[in-house]
Structure 1
Amino acid sequence: MNLKVTFLLLFSAVLCPVWSQTFTIGYQMYYESIHGDLVEMSKTLVNNPLDKNSKPDLQLVYCNGVSLCGPIAESKEISDEKNSNENKISTTRMRHSVYYQNQEENLFMKDFGDFLAPLGETENPVISEQLERYDWKIRDKKMMISGYHCTLATTIDINGEQITAWYTDEIPIMHGVNGFFGLPGLIIQLQVETRILYIMTSIRQENKQTNLEKPTGNMMTQDEFQKYVKEVTRPRTITTPDGQVQTIRPISNN
């Protein structure tokens, strides 16, 4: 980590008890199956002007080492009656899936929402584990993206897929889109293999405290979640009123 980033992080830590800032960052998503060659597409998007009033596909909200990322539902923030400068954002405002990260508690949560509701599951599954420590390799390559000086970094995710990220240390937030974390600055652009591209389209910085609430639901680890999904999506047999035996093969909307 360079001296500039170290100073900014220390400066922020000193000010946090008396002065807080909330960052709201919008990202657009692009899919190879829909938009074609994502490498070529990213070249045409890197210099697009940012628009704080844009309606992104995903939104990352960050305050004091805590972040919440997910698609935003159309509803207002809840104001704190005791402090007009403090807002609260909970996962009830967001359509799922939602990623929650807390640096101080070393906590990562992924709220899958109601994607298993068509199978009769009434309580949304939530993965709760320690923060994922990606083995980032910071490269020498630099690029300007939307007016920010960015550096290239790469890693492999838990699914074995190649992740390519561009981050800027001009915004000292060690978070990014959909739970990606741990670089010395905000992730401006991220690509998963050649399948999915995320690129920042807006950023807003406000001098206020925002409490980001933890997801609630059926808590489980990643391994427990995999077993849970396998169980609720397995083929089942039923006997109809006329005595016939039929096999039901559930299809989730994940």
Structure 2
Amino acid sequence: MTDPTVVLVHGAFADATGWIGVISELRSSGIPVIAPSNPLRGLTADAAYLASVLAQLDGPVVLVGHDYGGAPITVAGTAENVVALVYVAACVPDEGESLAQLQEGFPGASSTGRLKERTYPLPDGDSAVEVTIEEAAFPSVFAADLPEDVAGALAASQRPLATAAFTEKTSAAAWRTKPSWALVAGADRMIDPEVQRFGAARATAAVVELPDASHAVVLSEPTRVADLIRDAIRTTSRPTATRP
């Protein structure tokens, strides 16, 4: 079987450079990896963009999503060349479910009260709303286990998420037919760890939990994240690979 390419999909309030440590870890093992930029303009648009990236790759793909990135990989992961899904401190929605619906009933960690709204223009001349995390709150909410200067730089450079991403419903759930893995960040103050556990259990994912990890686990624990991805690669590279 051809070695899979790992496609790393970042989430909200971040960009692809957040995967830098994970990329280094995977490349040290000879694993091909790319980290495309997630547009963050809404679930439908983001999933379509990701699907276009996957369609232009040769061979199998292990698709990895962090944070909101878990939603577009859930939709685009139905592509034939995707052999595994890996969710990292991520939302794992079901078909026909929005992220807002997924998080209802979980009163724990949430950034909702710390979001700052801005508007941006649409091609038709109308405007839409996007959000970032208030800069002063960002370190504690998103990156509590990173050095203060790093968290501050991330806060200043965060990419906004269109609010449409919260309400658009998922058109497919690739985890229903593809083997899945999940890393739960136990000290996450952005996405309630219970939301992460619920989604992982529903997807019958193989789960690793890091009790002290913040939402920025891809930066604070790149080796542990890479180890989970390597496990997905090893398992799905077997001729008789099945859902874990």
Q: TM-score, normalised by structure 2?
A: 0.29
Q: TM-score, normalised by structure 1?
A: 0.28
- Structure with the higher fraction of residues in helix conformation: 2
- Structure with the higher fraction of residues in strand conformation: 1
Which structure has the larger Rg over C-alpha atoms?
1
